[in-house]
């Protein structure tokens, strides 16, 4: 019945780590100054610290099933915001990631996470640190940020979400909604999502013969409405609108 704020500081960032065998519920909390970064690459850019995310469910497996994350705000954060990593059956509804770095809704690519629901969430002003190294991806240079990573797993849902100024950087590397090339990727339910004012609205880089269905996706005022690759990539696009993008499709 009252507002709750959990904060680090701008120079001493915190993180929330959950490894539980019982379901968790988080509602109407503001998390600020989370996700520490350190200079790990030797240049002037600070890198993300692996595992030190905004809200991090870590390998809860079936223990997290039934958890609800509803109506929260994660802001001014230097690393991934909402991370259900090998933690199954979590429902994320009506949450906001604002003024954050790295892909906001994410888990480690290639690590199967099942039955996660993303519904009616907002990602706004999600960016990347150019020239920083991605310590979760073999120290590769960081070229983009994304709002939602549609990573490995079965039974996952991404519906009714909005990303604005969230798919930023190289359209060939990331987008507001991003399907990366990973082994054994799952088929997401993907309906009624919106991307606007991003560098890239939707990016696919799969190598798979499994059919993915993209329903009623709206992409407007983006640099690239949709970037689609790579080789074997069976996708069906149905409904939706592309409007006033500099380039609709690449």
Q: What element of type H or E holds 169?
A: none
CA–CA gap between residue 164 and residue 48 (Å, rounded): 22
CA–CA gap between residue 68 and residue 57 (Å, rounded): 12
- The tokens for 226 are 């949709």
CA–CA gap between residue 125 and residue 96 (Å, rounded): 11
* DSSP state at residue 63: G
pLDDT digits (tens, 9 = 90+) for 102-132: 999 999 988 999 999 999 999 999 999 998 9
Residue 204 pairs in a beta bridge with 179, 228
Q: What are phi and psi of 92, to 5 degrees?
A: -110, 115
pLDDT of residue 184: 62
* DSSP-derived 3-state class of residue 35: coil
- Report whether 216 contacts 239 (CB < 8 A): yes
Cα–chain center distance at 198 = 14
pLDDT of residue 2: 57
pLDDT < 70 positions in the chain: 1-2, 183-184
pLDDT of residue 207: 80
pLDDT of residue 139: 84
pLDDT of residue 138: 78
Residue 76 preceded by cis peptide, ω within 30: no
- Report whether 190 contacts 204 (CB < 8 A): no
C-alpha closest to that of 119 among 176, 184, 52, 68: 68
């Amino acid at each position: 019945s009252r507002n709750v704020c959990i904060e680090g500081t701008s120079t001493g960032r915190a993180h929330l780590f959950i490894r539980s065998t019982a379901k968790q519920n988080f509602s109407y909390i503001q998390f600020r100054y989370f996700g520490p970064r350190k200079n790990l690459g030797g240049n002037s850019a600070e890198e993300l610290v692996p595992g030190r995310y905004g809200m991090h469910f870590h390998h809860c497996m079936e223990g997290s099933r039934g958890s609800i994350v509803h109506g929260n705000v994660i802001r001014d954060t230097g690393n991934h915001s909402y991370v259900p990593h090998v933690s199954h059956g979590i429902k994320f509804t009506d949450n906001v990631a604002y003024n954050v770095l790295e892909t906001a809704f994410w888990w480690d690519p290639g690590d199967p996470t099942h039955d996660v629901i993303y519904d009616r969430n907002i990602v706004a002003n999600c960016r990347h640190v150019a020239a920083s190294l991605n310590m979760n991806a073999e120290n590769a240079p960081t070229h983009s940020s994304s709002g939602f990573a549609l990573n490995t797993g079965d039974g996952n849902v991404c519906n009714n979400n909005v990303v604005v100024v969230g798919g930023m950087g190289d359209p060939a590397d990331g987008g507001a909604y991003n399907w990366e090339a990973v082994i054994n990727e799952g088929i997401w339910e993907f309906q009624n999502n919106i991307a606007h004012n991003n560098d890239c609205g939707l990016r696919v880089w799969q190598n798979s013969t499994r059919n993915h269905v993209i329903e009623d996706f709206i992409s407007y005022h983006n640099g690239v409405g949709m970037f689609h690759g790579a080789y074997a990539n069976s996708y069906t696009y149905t409904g939706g609108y592309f409007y006033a993008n500099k380039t609709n499709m690449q």
